Structure 1
Amino acid sequence: MEIVPAPTRDAAVALTAKLIESRLRDKPNLVLGLATGRTMEEVYARLVASGVSFARCTTFNLDEYVGLPPEDPNSYAAYMRHHLFDHVDIDPARINLPDGMADDLSVAAADYERRIAGAGGIDLQLLGIGEAGHIGFNEPLSALRSRTRDKILTPVTRAQNAGMFGGDPDAVPKRALTMGVETILESRELVLLASGRAKASVVAKAVEGPLTARISASAIQLHTHCKVILDDEAASDLEGLAYYREVCRNEEKWDPYRSLL
């Protein structure tokens, strides 16, 4: 795992977008795992502006609310269309999201796992981190060997996501279909992006604290090809921050991105 402190939110977003763009240019048929959230909107805007082709890319989103049809403006399907898919040359047949409207969610979850396997696995998975410490919607006490399944959302998560539902946490669906922790860890590369002071404490617990099901994001410590990209505020509680900065200053692989660090 690599901790990559950026000086500002804009620099952290730009670095994340440039890494994804680089992977797409190196491997046009990349299998890309996608995330949602306000910070990701900025990443997608930069990818759109870059002009990189998605024509041969296959995508899998981390999660989808249960009970929201794809046409609902608050669904993650609608989010992805609005912020990325409608603005790039991706083949709609290569877009995959969990089916939160399925009559049998366990069948839909198993089908999602089969689709990921059928695509050859995920090359690069983009992640955020929730204030409850989750990746995807793997809420506290999610098994670290969990697969795609439906989960009940915590009050913390529903409050965090209320902004997209008119500010009303009660309007946020109570359940979501999400990739499991082990599903995420099977991706060949992980990039977790976090910004803002509100994420500082949980980021520190996830990357420097013990491995625990109480904070599913702590499972990324097990991944051998994982980058955690943080702005100055999200990195502010890290005990090893000075060292992480020193590593980035001295690693030649970061030379192409030096202006952002």
Structure 2
Amino acid sequence: MRLIIREDPEAVSFYAANYIKQRILEFGPTKERPFVLGLPTGSSPIGVYRYFVDFYRKGELSFKNVITFNMDEYVGIPRDHPESYHSFMFKHLFNHIDIDPQNVNILNGNAEQLDKECERYEKKIQSVGGIELFLGGIGPDGHIAFNEPGSSMKSRTRVKTLAYETVLANARFFGGDVNKVPKLSLTVGVGTVMDAREVVIIITGAHKAIALSKCIEDGVNHMWTVSAIQMHPSSMIVCDEDATLELHVKTVRYFKSIEQVQEQLIGRDNIGLKGSISSLSAMNARAMAALGINPADSE
């Protein structure tokens, strides 16, 4: 697991958006081999989506061969309701890029048979070859999507009753009226997210600092569902300085030092997009010695 620390939410948004842009470009999606991207809603990804739109408008990124799957949707409110996640996604992203509407997948919270809708969603993900990269945010209690404390780490897409704390937190989007907030949602499971070939989580703000510390410094715990990312073979968290307030100083220094070594000693050109060392041939002898590498071993 990689932890990337940036100064503020804006820098976090740019890093995450630019990373995903580079992943899509590196993948080189085609109609026959699309890039499948999992997406969240909420306040955390808005900055990322703004950069996606900017990349598209500058001609730096196309979404023509990208298929998206959203994490969740409320149950029982119209699709065109201003607070539905369908409306959210089209307002902040899909209306402003060149994605094919048929490639947009969002759970139907008004389906007659909700369980069947969840099964259909899982099958649809599998039918396109699985999700290449899942972008996610978290709640202050460490939940990812609507997988709130107590959710199974192997859970799949399902109907979920929202915790009262979540209802209270979302009331701000419904004029502060708790009674207007839906109490049920459809959500991908923790297992659904972890099945993606790569997971990127963005965490910003002091109010999420405890959740980050539980994710980074404690063990895997179903009461903090984001901690499942520890078990993923290709995962990354991008956070701001405020989110690190509950981490031990040595933890912050450790992750910052890794990035420093990569930048200053190994060199950006020798680092793969996911942080792997792609080549040692261009490294100078001093850098290799600092890393404890015998130049003869790299020949």
Determine whether 1:246 maps to 2:251.
Answer: no
Is 1:63–1:176's contact at 8 Å kept on the other side of the alignment? yes
Amino acid at match of 1:213: H
Aligned length in residues: 257
Q: RMSD across aligned C-alpha pairs, in angstroms?
A: 1.6
User: Equivalent residue for 2:155?
Assistant: 146
Gaps of 5+ in 2: 272-299
Determine whether 1:50 maps to 2:61.
Answer: no
| CA-to-aligned-CA distance 1:177-220 (integer Å, 9 cap, x gap) | 00001111000000000111100011111222121111111111
Equivalent of 2:171, from 157, 162, 166? 162
Amino acid at match of 1:22: Q
**Identity level (%):** 39
User: Equivalent residue for 2:290?
Assistant: none
Determine whether 1:131 maps to 2:136.
Answer: no
Q: Return the TM-score normalized by structure 1.
A: 0.95
User: Equivalent residue for 1:177?
Assistant: 186
Q: Superposed, which structure 2 residues align to 1:184-203 within 5 Å?
A: 184-203=193-212
Q: Superposed, which structure 2 residues align to 1:1-261 within 5 Å?
A: 1-27=1-27, 28=29, 29-51=34-56, 52-239=61-248, 240-252=251-263, 255=268
Shift of 1:231: 0.4
Amino acid at match of 1:122: I
| CA-to-aligned-CA distance 1:119-145 (integer Å, 9 cap, x gap) | 100001001011121101001111111
Q: Secondary structure at the match of 2:186?
A: strand
Larger RCO of the pair (alpha carbons < 8 Å, separation 6+): 1
Q: Secondary structure at the match of 2:152?
A: coil
Shift of 1:170: 2.8
Which aligned runs of 4 or more in structure 1 are off by greater than 6 angstroms?
none
Is 1:105–1:150's contact at 8 Å kept on the other side of the alignment? yes
Is 1:129–1:135's contact at 8 Å kept on the other side of the alignment? yes
Hey, what's the Cα distance between the residues in 2 that align with 1:111 and 1:75? 20
Shift of 1:254: 8.5
User: 1:254 and 1:16, CA in 2 relative to 1: closer, same or farther beyond 3 A?
Assistant: farther
